[in-house]
Structure formats: structure tokens, C-alpha cells
Amino acid sequence: MKLFECQNCGNALHFDNTICVNCHYRVGYLQDRLVMSALEQTPQGWIALADRGSSYRFCANAADEICNWMVGEGGDALCESCRHNRMIPDLTIPENIARWRKIELAKRYVFRSLMRWGLRAPNRIEDPEEGLVFDFLSDSTQAKVQTGHEDGLITLNIAEADDAERERRRSLMGETYRTLVGHFRHEIGHYFWDRLVRDGDRVMEFRALFGDETQDYVEALARHYESGPPSGWRDAYISAYATSHPWEDFAETWAHYLHMVDALETARSYGINVSAGFRNPAQRVELNLEPYFAASAEQLIRAWIPLTVAINGVNRSMGQPDLYPFVMSKPVVQKLEFVHELIHRRQQSRASAKSSPYVAASEVEYATS
């Protein structure tokens, strides 16, 4: 994520800020310009200092700091991220406000990446059958909520917003990495498998790298949870869970591609340079790459590996586990290259199109769980 700057005082602004901590100006994210902006209130609305002359208003979910994105006057009441919600947590339960706040922040990280690539998705108003929509649900005495994706519907158990509960599940399931942002990046990968692989006539290429997705999905997951990953799985997969089924392999690879790009953009924004600590010329990399416009996944990985080595070293010195406990084998790099090509081919086709097939919905309604 980029480090932004307050247009009023020059202080650093972060993606989740609602107030500049230096000059106390109200700030918000301009979704149409992909930038954080200081705001001035007028009778006509909020004027963004990053876009003088244009009036904005906050997303309808700005209350309780659920969302800090801005929408144009006369447009949708909800921002690009919030407009895809169908079921939100029951806000009569006080702790659900904090949970929803964390959930929405994680989701906005993902939507910001998708918007940078032009990967916008229709919601259920535009595509009633497979439009992208989110349900944020809680367990009940009758049923346990499973986080997952099906036909454009992404379900998230809101218990994942509790750090202690998420850590318990991470340990129970033997995962080395489990975050809210990671959940969204993984599940959105399933959605874009449908859009870019299945509907994009890329299934045969996919099978050559990931395997045959027609194998029984339920049986494959049951086998994985019963027996665990095969020995030597690190030679071909980015994570143990990726071994369970080709769809999960793709979603895990997609999520890691987004991890790399966003983290590299953050490092570049802060001017991080990890070249001084390595004698091997192959590891001396200055992070001046614009990751969202990288020529290949290999170019990203050349910058990514030295950065993760350095950050893992910092974590270890603080007594913390590695920030990035994964291995980039040759088959994993090939899979990441496939994801890179999918995203950038779509990006190029959108840029060359005379008009975008995406049409904003005028209104979105959602219920509470």
C-alpha cells in the first residue's frame, strides 16, 4: 500500500486514516483517483484538496469508521467496496461494530488492488446469477459458518475478525499464515478463476500447471484435512492448503501474488532499500519497481525475495515468527506467472476497449446477519 500525503500540511497519511493526526483535517480515500485526500467541508459537500473543484461525500458506511472512502456527488451511496455487501454483521451486538470495521478495512485493501488493475466486478444487481457479493455471518447453535466462495458469493465468518479466535483456528488447522486480508485475497481468487480462467477459455493452460479441477472437490478437501499435504509439497506448492485441490492451489497462488504486489508497493513507498545487507549481487535489489505494472512475476520475485529475507530477519530479532514463511520453487514461480499474465491481459484489454462493460449500480441494499 502506498504512503499518502496530507495536501494541507504534508504529513503522512495511511490508507485507514480518517483524520490527519498533524493538522486534524478530515481525510478520505477518493476511489475514482485512488488517493487519500484532505477534505474541506462546504455547504455543497466535501471538497477534496487532491481534486480541487470536485465535491464528494462519504460512503454511506462511514459511520463508526466502518469506511473512509469517498463517492462523487450524485453517484452511488456506497463505495466500490461496500456496494458488494449483501449481509453485514448484526450491529445490535456491540462487538460486531469493531469486527465489521476490521473486515471492511481488509476488504478495501483487496478492492484497491483490483481497481488499480481495472478488475472491477458486477454486483448482484448487474449480474443476478454470478455477481460478486459478500455475506458476513456468525455461528449459531444450529450451524457453523464456513468461509468460502460459491458462484460469486463470498462468505466470511465474522469470528475471523477476532485475533485470538483466528489464531486458534490457525493453530488448529496447522496453517502458517492466516489473516483477514489473506482470506479476502484467497476468496476473490476463486471468483476471478471463474471470470478469467473458466470464462476466458484458459482452462487447458490452467490444468497444465495446477492440475485437473474436475476431480471431486468435497472428497479432495476431506482427504486433505484427514491426511494433510503430501511429502515434498513445498517443491510445487506455495502452501500446504494449495495441495488440496487445483482450485485451492490457484486461489492460494492468486492471494500470494496480491501479497507480493501490495507489500512491494509499500516498501517502495517508504524508500526501503535492502541491497546493502547482501554480498551476492543477485540479492542486491533496490525497490524502485512499480509492482502494479511489473513486466512479469519473475521481476516481482527478484525484488520480493530479498525484501522478505530482510523482514523475516527483523521479525526474528524481535522474537516473532517469519512474516513470510513461504518458499518460491520453480513450479510456484510458473503458477505466479500464469496469474500475472491473467491480470495483465485483462488490464490491457480494458485499457484498449472503447468503453468499459462495467456499469455502476444506482443502489445496493443489504441485510444484517
Q: Which of 79, 98, 132 is the last residue of a domain?
A: 79
* pLDDT range class, residue 171, cuts 50, 70, 90: low
27 lies in the same domain as 68: yes
Q: Is 15 inside a domain boundary?
A: yes
Strand segments, DSSP code E, in 281-355 are none
Q: Is 364 inside a domain boundary?
A: no
- β-strand pairing of 26-30 with 69-72: parallel
What is the total count of domains within the chain? 3
What whole-number percentage of the chain has pLDDT above 90?
58
* pLDDT range class, residue 357, cuts 50, 70, 90: very low
What is the tens place of the pLDDT at every residue in 283-327? 555 557 789 999 999 999 988 888 888 888 889 999 988 888 888
Please tell me the predicted confidence (pLDDT) of residue 163.
74
Between the alpha carbon of residue 339 and those of residues 111, 250, 300, 342, 346, the distances in Å are: 17, 8, 12, 5, 11
Q: Is 195 inside a domain boundary?
A: no
Q: 211 with 288: CB under 8 angstroms?
A: no
Please tell me the predicted confidence (pLDDT) of residue 283.
56
Name residue 367's beta-bridge partners: 87
CA–CA separation, 177 and 322 (whole Å) = 10
Q: Could you tell me the pTM of the whole model?
A: 0.88
What mean pLDDT do residues 154-163 have? 87
| Cβ neighbour number for residue 82 with a 10 Å cutoff | 25
8 lies in the same domain as 57: yes
Query: Helix 330-352 vs helix 297-317: angle between axes, to the nearest 10 degrees?
Result: 120
206 lies in the same domain as 349: yes
Greatest extent of the chain over all pairs of C-alpha atoms, in Å:
65
Please tell me the predicted confidence (pLDDT) of residue 363.
37
Cell numbers standing for residue 141: 447453535
Q: Which residue is associated with the grid cell 457453523?
A: 144
What mean pLDDT do residues 102-116 have? 94
CA–CA separation, 78 and 71 (whole Å) = 7
- What does the mean pLDDT of the chain come to? 86
Please give the residue range of the domain that contains residue 65: 1-79
Q: Is 336 inside a domain boundary?
A: yes
More confident residue, 337 or 303: 337
What is the tens place of the pLDDT at every residue in 200-220? 999 999 999 999 999 999 999
